[in-house]
Amino acid sequence: MTGQPLSDRFQYKTADALRRKAEALGVDLPFENDLRILLEPADVGGQRVPNRLAAQPMEGCDGTPDGAPGDLTTRRYERIASGGSGLIWFEATSVAPDGRANPRQLFLSAGTAPAFRRLVDLTRAAARRRFGDRHEPYLVVQLTHSGRFSRTAGEGRRKATCFNPHFDRPVAGMAPPPEHPLVGVARLLGLGAAVQSEVPAVPAVATGLSWLRQFWPPVAAGLLTRGMAVFAGLGRGAFAYPDAAADLMARGVLDRTKCCIACSRCTELMRIGSTAGCAVRDHPLYSSLHRAAMASARSVP
Ligand SMILES: Cc1cc2nc3c(=O)[nH]c(=O)nc-3n(C[C@H](O)[C@H](O)[C@H](O)COP(=O)(O)O)c2cc1C
Ligand code: SF4
């Protein structure tokens, strides 16, 4: 032990300061200042993907009672598509009526398929409107069955046992993790790289970048340059800053004031049974939802 706190607030003003912290912690974070690789096209199964930026599956818990995409679902994917992500990974979508993780999870069935068709058309149209015909995002859907974690309408909220908020993403504002968040970020990126090296023919999507805020692009470019992944994935980053790819295309840098701050409010929204979105950057829609949802959760005896 060095006597330093294991966790600290995000206090890095420059990519260099972040790099120095990583070095001090002994974690291997690749940095590459030339970001062009992020905007290069890729090939997935013979289909062209316009760039290497992937919006990861992020559940908004805003489907209709029968599992079709709702208005907020459509809003989310139109925002992501017109933000320029080359690969859009649609959120957890149940394949069975009793396999939904929450009553507003999407459910793909013969009855809801036309609404999904429309969602796909609107998503593609949003990308085309902004970037033209050469930019057609690659669309993937995450099909799921939540097994023993399924929860349908009428069932109460499940009590989380052994919930570790830091397990698949470092978060601020929760009890500190037993390690510096950068160690967790490096571990996630390393796991992705291990998968990529085991199955080089399958393009891997790197995950865990959102915690790095405005400095994720040089780390993502470093990963891709080293062959540690083919795509740079953003989960919470896609909620907070759906047009990050467009800003990179236009200006070569991110706007710090639009970045995810890893505060975990979107996770809180999901856990208390609300529809989820970025309560910090997607203002006023999700900030007021978060305020109202937290007040109502507090008032429950
Ligand atoms: C509100 C919320 C919803 C999520 N929904 C999904 C999901 O539907 N499927 C999934 O595999 N992961 C889901 N994740 C995990 C993210 O896709 C991502 O892997 C994780 O947040 C780490 O990436 P990040 O640091 O860029 O956020 C969700 C995360 C959050 C915070
Ligand atoms: S609420 Fe917004 S800023 Fe906070 S973790 Fe979620 S996406 Fe990031």
pLDDT value of residue 166: 44
Question: Strand pairing partners for 140?
Answer: 89
CA of 185 to the centre of ligand 2 (A): 16
Q: Which two tokens stand for residue 30?
A: 């690749």
* Cβ of residue 290 lying under 6 Å from some atom of ligand 2: no
Backbone φ and ψ for 199, nearest 5 degrees, come out as -125, 75
Average pLDDT of the residues of the chain? 91
Structure confidence at residue 219 (pLDDT): 98
Whether 52 shows a pLDDT value over 60: the answer reads: yes
Q: 174 and 166 in contact (C-beta within 8 Å)?
A: yes
Q: Which atom of ligand 2 is nearest to the CA of 210?
A: 8
Distance from C-alpha of 247 to C-alpha of 216, rounded to nearest angstrom? 13
Query: If you average pLDDT over residues 168-190, what whole number do you get?
Result: 79
From residue 245, alpha-carbon distances to 9, 105, 126, 128, 132 in Å are: 26, 27, 14, 15, 15
pLDDT at 149: 85
**287 alpha carbon, closest ligand:** 2
User: Which residue intervals of the chain are DSSP H helices?
Assistant: 15-25, 71-82, 113-131, 181-198, 216-225, 236-240, 244-251, 265-271, 285-299
pTM here? Answer: 0.92
How much is the average pLDDT of 153-161?
A: 49
276 lines ligand 2 (CB under 6 A): no
| Ligand 1 binding pocket includes 270 (Cβ within 6 Å) | yes
The per-residue pLDDT for 128 is: 98
pLDDT of residue 5: 47
| Rounded Cα distance, 147 and 161, in Å | 16
CA-based nearest residue to 163, from 155, 147, 174, 150? 174
